[in-house]
Amino acid sequence: MHSIDEGLARERFTDSIARIRAILPQSEVVVLSPALISFRRHGLEFAQARIAHDPRTFQSAQEIAFGVGPEERVLNSENEPHFADLMRLAAAVRHQDGPKNHALWRMHPERWLESLAAANIAALAGRLQPEPVYAQVPAFAAADRAMIDILAITREARLAVIELKADEDTHLPLQGVDYWSRVAWHQSRGEFAQFGYFPGREISPQKPLLMLVAPALHVHPTTDTILRYLSPEIDWEVLGIDEHWREQIRVVFRKRPPRSPVQAA
């Protein structure tokens, strides 16, 4: 899919952004499409601004919908106090020292980790460019669509596919390889430049890096076994981060494939 002109989308929704940030200044603004913006607190979506179409008049207008999960309501004058209460609750709960037993604190930990990593990608590796960084990038394989956690680029203009897990998950390496293969496929066809990604940069022809990120004590034991069977063309790296990543993302160990004598020479 084509890269979205975030500046144009933010300009289109200037009033909605100002309205929400007047109540919750720390809210994250995530552009999902030219006609849809998500408002989040550490990855937890609590509202959207979108272009709504009235089938009776065929006219379009902006609207704000709010709620967590399936409970979604369109903002109006009657429910505006509930909207303000929800945002204040998100601000009070969704932070590193929030109540850990609260449902809003526990929801979507991977989105929380993703939001922190995308905002400070250099915490994972100094060779990564701080911007542009793309989160939840759609990548296709035939009719199958998947969402890559983070797509970044190194200072040498090499693509980097970053897969994140906040908890122990056997799927971490294979999911990462799946996304790596999709990115490599699109890269081989020159589609990142064609579709507007990493503007002004000539992307290196090298195959992408694959970075697998998880809390150090939650890297599943099967990960090492699976990684032994990967093709040598996949340049992977496992990053174990500090368990208190909500406070600060800090890499405590890195693991890379062993180099063969030929490679070492």
Element (H or E) spanning 214, and its range? strand 209-215
Residues 74 and 160 in one domain: no
Residues 173 and 64 in one domain: no
| Cα distance from N-terminal residue to C-terminal residue, the chain | 41
Those residues with Cβ within 8 angstroms of residue 176's Cβ, 6 or more apart along the chain or in another chain:
161, 163, 210, 211, 212, 236
Residues 184 and 223 in one domain: yes
Residues 83 and 200 in one domain: no
| pLDDT attached to residue 15 | 92
**How many residues appear in the chain?**
265
Q: Is residue 116 part of a domain?
A: yes
Provide the domain count of the chain: 2
Residues 259 and 145 in one domain: yes
Alpha carbon distance 103, 121 (integer Å): 27
- Domain end point (choices 92, 107, 122): 107
Residues 25 and 126 in one domain: no
SS3 state at 63? strand
- State the residue range of the domain holding 30: 6-107
Q: Is residue 192 part of a domain?
A: yes
Residues 100 and 192 in one domain: no
Q: Is residue 1 part of a domain?
A: no
Q: Is residue 212 part of a domain?
A: yes
Residues 259 and 143 in one domain: yes
| pLDDT attached to residue 141 | 57
Element (H or E) spanning 184, and its range? helix 172-188
Residues 149 and 238 in one domain: yes
Alpha carbon distance 189, 185 (integer Å): 7
Q: Is residue 117 part of a domain?
A: yes
- Domain end point (choices 62, 90, 107): 107
Residues 151 and 73 in one domain: no
| pLDDT attached to residue 262 | 39
| pLDDT attached to residue 55 | 65
DSSP characters over 74-141:
E--TTTHHHHHHHHHHHHHHSSTTS-TTSHHHHS-HHHHHHHHHHHTGGGT-TTB-SS--EEEEEEEE
Alpha carbon distance 12, 6 (integer Å): 10
Q: What is the pLDDT along the chain (265 residues), one digit of tens a residue?
A: 778 888 898 999 999 999 999 888 989 999 988 899 999 999 999 999 998 876 666 678 889 999 887 778 888 889 999 999 998 999 999 999 999 999 999 999 999 999 999 999 999 999 999 999 998 877 665 556 667 889 999 999 999 999 999 999 999 999 999 999 999 999 999 999 898 999 988 999 999 999 999 999 999 999 999 999 999 999 999 999 999 999 999 999 999 988 644 344 3
Residues 116 and 230 in one domain: yes
Alpha carbon distance 163, 232 (integer Å): 19
Q: Measuring CA to CA, how many Å separate 50 from each of 71, 87, 108?
A: 17, 18, 23
Residues 239 and 118 in one domain: yes
Which residues are bridge partners to 153 per DSSP?
Answer: 159
Return the residue matching tokens 């601004």.
49
| pLDDT attached to residue 54 | 67
Those residues with Cβ within 8 angstroms of residue 72's Cβ, 6 or more apart along the chain or in another chain:
65, 66
Order of strands across the sheet that contains 59-66: 28-33, 36-41, 44-54, 59-66, 73-74
Q: Is residue 243 part of a domain?
A: yes
Q: Measuring CA to CA, how many Å separate 251 from each of 22, 146, 177, 215, 243?
A: 35, 27, 21, 9, 10
- Domain end point (choices 79, 107, 135): 107
CA angle 185/231/221 to nearest 5° reads 110
Return the residue matching tokens 């296709």.
140
Residue 183: CATH number of its domain: 3.40.1350.10
